[in-house]
Structure 1
Amino acid sequence: MRLGRLINLIAEECRGNEPGKDMILQRMLEVLLIEALRSHGTTMDEDRAGLLHGMRDPALARVLAAMHADVRADWTVASLARIAGQSRSAFAARFGAVLSCGPIEYLARWRMALAKDALLRGAKTLDRIADDVGYESASAFSTAFRKRLGCPPGQFARINGSSDHA
């Protein structure tokens, strides 16, 4: 079973202390999530929207891979449409239909998910988190975070029990 092999690889990586351990673990956990989603819903209802459905569409899968690989990039609908090999309007319509949100909204949600994870881990400064997820400054990041989640990043970290690095 693929999930079992992945779990064993993750456990092995956790026991080790090789360079790049955190990066490898992050990617392995992403793969584990995708495999879990695959095994849970191997038959895809064409009317359902979501990430897994988007990954089954070759053009959207290329776009999602690009966004996930470089979350810091200054993505636009036009640049993402080029990756998909579609017109801007056709791409935006397809992305919205398949993922239930526009591409820039998806990117913003993904950035916030990564930021929340970093805040919960507590090992990075707010400046570093902002840079890692594609914001020009900690101030711009804090404003966007507060607008989306209803509280500033530091408060989110404190409420959710991470350390005070943020």
Structure 2
Amino acid sequence: MVDPLAEVVSLLQPGAPFSKLVVASAPWAVRRTETGRPFYFVLLEGRCRLTIDSAGNSETLELEEGDFVLIPAARSFATSSLDRQPPREDEAVTTPIVPMPGGARVGDPDGAIDARMLVGHCVFQSSDSALLVSLLPQWVHARGERRLSTLVQLIGDESRADRPAREIVMARLLEVLLIEALRSTASSAQAPGLVRGLADPKLASALRRMHEDPAASWNVAQLARDAAMSRSAFFERFSRAVGLAPMEYLLAWRMAVARQLLRQRDLAMPEIAERVGYGSVSAFGVAFTRHVGMPPGRFAKQESDAEPA
């Protein structure tokens, strides 16, 4: 059986080579503004608050020891001790931040440490990352998973040690943690995205059908019928859970597959068009150009030219 989440994660090629240790003494509050890069947060010890801003709204999570949060396209977020409200986007932050080897100390530099965090930027090495990230939740919060707890413990131990090949081990552990976090939240995801859609058995069936055969001439009525739902109920439920309408999702996945096939250069253009559901090269070219921003031939050449000699 096709696993849609595995396919997306595989195409994303996740890595986590950039991390730093942050220790904090209450009271403290920090706000960050990012440029859409993926950001992760592991709470190794203590408790804190994390507020994630999105489209004029904000969601505040109270994090506990062992929690892991991934924001696939971070823009603006804030963290704080439990005795402080996370600062608003327009609020100045005055908490002292002092650099230290491998990270930073937040709050009173002479105070007792009440939280220890590992934070950093992920890397989605695929050039399709923006397209694929749109299929993921706006944020992933994992808690209470034994496998994740073991990984977090290993990462915490490695972050405090000075062992040979420390950076390589940290990077590999974090890669596994990213994938495990996405997988473990499939049954409890709250933010819209592929993970939340897969948690719904009826929607999961439709998602698997689209991934199994992206070339099929799917429509909302057919997918709704397969899910034993009315067309309107299926459309609303899918859009709310996944964050994209069914045909928008199908198009996004077709274009991700098309880009991968163009990059591999194993198939001729007519074959690629057929693989992703288009009866002619011209129809495929129009759809690809509208979605990606350039014709498929130019995309293939650009990818070829970008490869190292």
Identity of aligned residues (%): 43
Residues 36 and 87 (structure 1), Cα distance of their counterparts in 2 relative to 1, 3 Å cut: farther
Q: Which residue, 154, 157, 164 being the options, matches 2:300?
A: 157
Aligned to 2:247: 104
Q: Which residue, 61, 64, 86 being the options, matches 2:204?
A: 61
Residues 37 and 79 (structure 1), Cα distance of their counterparts in 2 relative to 1, 3 Å cut: farther
| Alignment root-mean-square deviation, CA | 2.5
- State how far apart, in whole Å, the 1-side matches of 2:301 and 2:274 are: 21
Aligned to 2:273: 130
Larger RCO, structures 1/2 (Cα 8 Å, 6+ apart)? 2
Aligned to 2:233: 90
Q: 1:45 Cα deviation (Å)?
A: 3.9
Q: Would you say 1:119 and 2:262 are equivalent positions?
A: yes
Runs of 4+ residues deviating >2 angstroms: 29-33, 35-38, 41-46
Higher strand fraction: Structure 1 or Structure 2?
A: 2
TM-score after normalising by structure 2: 0.41
Aligned to 2:113: none
Deviations 1:71-104 (A, max 9, x none): 1111110000011111100100010001111001
**What is the number of equivalent residue pairs in this alignment?**
135
| CA contact 1:135–1:141 (8 Å) conserved in 2 | yes
| CA contact 2:224–2:230 (8 Å) conserved in 1 | yes
| CA contact 2:189–2:199 (8 Å) conserved in 1 | no
Aligned to 1:70: 213
Mapping of residues 30-41 of structure 1, within 5 Å: 30=7, 33=10, 39-41=180-182
- State how far apart, in whole Å, the 1-side matches of 2:286 and 2:198 are: 31
- State how far apart, in whole Å, the 2-side matches of 1:141 and 1:134 are: 8
Which residue identity lines up with residue 49 of structure 1 in the other structure?
Answer: P
TM-score after normalising by structure 1: 0.74
Q: Which residue, 290, 295, 299 being the options, matches 1:147?
A: 290
